[in-house]
Structure 1
Amino acid sequence: MSEPGRPRWPGSGAANSADEAWLTAIAQAAAGDSQAPLELLVEYLTLLADAAISGRRPREHELAIVRELGRRAAEQGIPAGRVVDLYLSAAWRMWRDLPDVVPYRDRDTVRASAQAVLRAVGEAIAVLVDSYQLATQQLVRQEEALRRELVDDLLRGDPDVARMVERAEPFGLDLGRPHQVVLARPADGLPEGDTSATMLELFILDRFGDREVLVATKEGLLVVLIPATAPSTAPRTIDKSVGDLIHDALIRHRPGRVWRVAAGRAYPGSYGIARSYEEAREALTLADRLRLDTAVVDARDMLVYRVLIRDQAAIVDLIQAVLGPLTQARGGADPLLQTLEAYFATGEVATEAARRLNVSVRTVTYRLDKVKALTGHDPGDPAQRFTLHIAVLGARLLDWPARDLPSGAEAHA
């Protein structure tokens, strides 16, 4: 049998409809102020009222219900601050109204009641917040796992297009729009728990005003999936390419860290995403093999190198025919190849090539003359320069002369 004047929450076996109305009014007012669901106060008001009247501490089953409410609030996406505000608002409202419901006889009784209420509020909120945070962490891990699986399947080109469209929808992706893939790789590797992906996603959303963005990690790379066109409500006015913007953001995030960024071209559909990814990945590989000193590479700029590497048999023949005689030089072919590379990269300016190689201009001109004498191709002649340049690019792609050139069926593979 309940104690006279003891408040109860509706549905908990309450004895007095007036008490039920009182608690309901407190819950509705607190929920209205905090803009949080009324249901999150179930059991909490009862344990507060009991603490105020009898001084008892919350029971385990009551805290278990509060713990479940914290989990539910996290799953509903209600901000943690709003939930805590709901509980504090209900507490002070109850404390304000208690003297009208249960008359206190003396100061010691009031003091003991206040201590009991504060203790109950502290225990309940501690359980609530702990449960909320745990549930939030689990939701984040689940979302990250789903995101990683989606990105993996998109980059692989999963043949189940209908299923891919359905899975992409919760992430705000419209696979009917053209998308491009941008890859970023740090020179020192991507450690576990690195915050660059989170920073990059926030940067892109802020920069472009477009929710249709995915950033994930894959095999030591940051993978950025971004629409090629912005919504009409958020037009883009960009002076730099997406690759340059991403590289700048990464450098600002952690100064001193060296990144290489590669951007694939934009294509529509889920298969287009896989195609853009392959282009970006191949651009990274080619930039490494060519020893390019640029931090940002675009798949469009690498098309000529893709042509070279895909006709490997022809490029092997070209290297053997044009550059093979360089192996007869004192010191081997590599110093002469380095000189040719620097000479072509600086627009056939010997002084700039010498500065890049850290040698004298006389050394550069001597080596160029040596190339002409051994190969019969003059680097200064426009027609012959083109042949030499293509052969040098092919040599770097195949890492010659550090590695032997492929032969026979291997060259045609």
Structure 2
Amino acid sequence: MSVDSADTPGAVHARAAALLATAHAVLVSALAGHRRQARAELARHDSERSAFVDDLLTGRAEPGGLAERAHRYGIRLSATHTVLVARTPRLTAEIVRRVDAALAARFGEGNTLTTQRNGDLVCISAGGLRGIGAELAHLLLAEFGAGGWQVAVGRPHPGMPGLVASLDEARDALDHASKLGFTAPVLNAADLLVFPVLLRDRGAISDLVATVLGPLTGARGGPRPYLDTLSVLFDNQGNHTATARQLHLSVRAVTYRLDRIHHLTGYHPNEPTQRFTLHAAVLGARLLGWPDATTR
């Protein structure tokens, strides 16, 4: 800025202020453009990552091109991988980015790949990576606090079909946990293998529920109080005192309900030979939504 000898101090100050305002506007515009470009780059990165994981887990892409894209993310398609799925209604793209960066920092680039898919957080990890489920739970706890989210860990499987199998196991574990009321923050699909077995023959499990628990529908007040009693009893490993406390009943009331169940169904959970049948029927009822699903 040039200064004329005839300029007054006020004029010089005004021109200087105008120059600073112009420089500030240019700087603000440049920073805004940089932020827009950064956001666009993040969106493109997220979109490419999401598309790659979707192609990887559906098998729709050409194998050669998929292998080339996998190499960019450090994934060997022939290796063994484990898929983890986290479910919460509060998930956002920014949270997924933070979790992805934290897992990569903890386990090393190329050992984990995290993205958002169908509303869930999906993490592909190298097979045999120890502590990945606990670490993901720790990160979600920091993001959301306790409750309102759940992580399921599929079993490790080799190759591309193994990725799909591990994903299905993790998603099924979350679905089963929702139906059964399991609230543990981390679920291992290997611990829940009995439930896919139960549902594999839906006709058989429906017949088991109807045969074993069906007589409870004739009880005064319906089957729900008795079904809840059995569910809580099995959840507490047969402990009558803990069951009574959780149900806000006396131990005598719990004993009475169990005796009524025995009278109506012929099965008693205190009988070792009958306990497994009753427990399987109760689990089946929870998976099927019985008796509510049959009365709609």
Question: TM-score, structure 2 length as denominator?
Answer: 0.85
1:261 counterpart residue number: 151
Structure 1 unaligned runs (5+)?
1-50, 56-114, 231-237, 406-413
2:294 counterpart residue number: 404
Q: Note if contact 1:182-1:243 (Cα within 8 Å) is conserved in structure 2.
A: yes
Of 136, 145, 148, the residue aligned with 2:38 is: 136
CA distance in 2, matches of 1:267, 1:202: 24
2:90 counterpart residue number: 190
Of 219, 224, 245, the residue aligned with 2:118 is: 219
Task: State the Cα distance separating 1:251 from its structure 2 match.
Answer: 0.9
Determine if the alignment matches structure 1 residue 228 to structure 2 residue 111: no
Quick one: structure 1 residues 292 and 126, their matched pair in 2 at CA, closer, same or farther if it must change by over 3 Å?
A: closer
Task: State the Cα distance separating 1:148 from its structure 2 match.
Answer: 1.0
Determine if the alignment matches structure 1 residue 245 to structure 2 residue 147: no
CA distance in 2, matches of 1:289, 1:156: 26
Task: State the Cα distance separating 1:171 from its structure 2 match.
Answer: 2.1
Task: State the Cα distance separating 1:128 from its structure 2 match.
Answer: 5.8
Determine if the alignment matches structure 1 residue 158 to structure 2 residue 80: no
Quick one: structure 1 residues 127 and 339, their matched pair in 2 at CA, closer, same or farther if it must change by over 3 Å?
A: closer
2:273 counterpart residue number: 383
Quick one: structure 1 residues 374 and 126, their matched pair in 2 at CA, closer, same or farther if it must change by over 3 Å?
A: closer
Residues 227-246 of structure 1: per-residue CA shift (max 9 Å, x gap): 1245xxxxxxx5xx432321
Task: State the Cα distance separating 1:300 from its structure 2 match.
Answer: 0.6
Determine if the alignment matches structure 1 residue 335 to structure 2 residue 237: no
Task: State the Cα distance separating 1:159 from its structure 2 match.
Answer: 5.9
Structure 2 unaligned runs (5+)?
3-15
Q: Note if contact 2:128-2:156 (Cα within 8 Å) is conserved in structure 1.
A: no
Of 80, 83, 89, the residue aligned with 1:181 is: 83
Of 306, 324, 336, the residue aligned with 2:196 is: 306
CA distance in 2, matches of 1:183, 1:379: 35
Paired residues in the alignment total 280
Map 1:2-151 onto structure 2 (within 5 A): 129-151=31-53
Could you tell me which amino acid in structure 1 is paired with residue 67 of structure 2? V
CA distance in 2, matches of 1:358, 1:207: 45
2:9 counterpart residue number: none
CA distance in 2, matches of 1:206, 1:276: 24
Larger RCO (CA under 8 A, 6+ residues apart): 2
Question: TM-score, structure 1 length as denominator?
Answer: 0.62
1:360 counterpart residue number: 250
Of 198, 201, 204, the residue aligned with 2:103 is: 204
Residues 260-319 of structure 1: per-residue CA shift (max 9 Å, x gap): 111111112222211111111111111111111322211111110100011111111111
CA distance in 1, matches of 2:81, 2:87: 20
Alignment partner of 1:400: what SS? Answer: coil
Instruction: Name the % identity.
Output: 37
Q: Note if contact 1:262-1:299 (Cα within 8 Å) is conserved in structure 2.
A: yes
Task: State the Cα distance separating 1:378 from its structure 2 match.
Answer: 1.7
1:295 counterpart residue number: 185
Quick one: structure 1 residues 121 and 403, their matched pair in 2 at CA, closer, same or farther if it must change by over 3 Å?
A: closer
Quick one: structure 1 residues 131 and 372, their matched pair in 2 at CA, closer, same or farther if it must change by over 3 Å?
A: same
Say which one has the larger Rg: 1
CA distance in 1, matches of 2:112, 2:282: 39
